[in-house]
Amino acid sequence: MQSAIVFGGLCVLWFIGTSMPPFGWFLSFIVIPPLSAVLWLLLMFKAYQGERFKLPYVGDIADERS
């Protein structure tokens, strides 16, 4: 659930950012892709280790919903 919320939110930010030049383009093409990659690798690494890992704010929302 945490992953769906995080990457769903980043996807929405990306779509909104692409419609707002030039700051939105900077956000969509320079900030969001590396942020997504780092979060993806971190969360996969923690899951592979079997560790329960909660991101701030999003982890609490995911716990409430599941």
Q: pLDDT per position in the chain (66 positions), as tens?
A: 999 999 999 999 999 999 999 999 999 999 999 999 999 999 999 999 999 999 999 999 999 987
What pLDDT was estimated at residue 65?
Answer: 84
Q: Which two tokens stand for residue 15?
A: 């779509």
Q: Mark out the alpha helices in 1-66 (DSSP H runs).
A: 2-18, 23-26, 32-48, 58-65
Supply the pTM of this predicted model: 0.84
CB within 8 A of 42, min separation 6: which ones?
Answer: 53
- Give 55: exposed, middle or buried? Use CB within 10 Å, 0-12, 13-18, 19+: middle
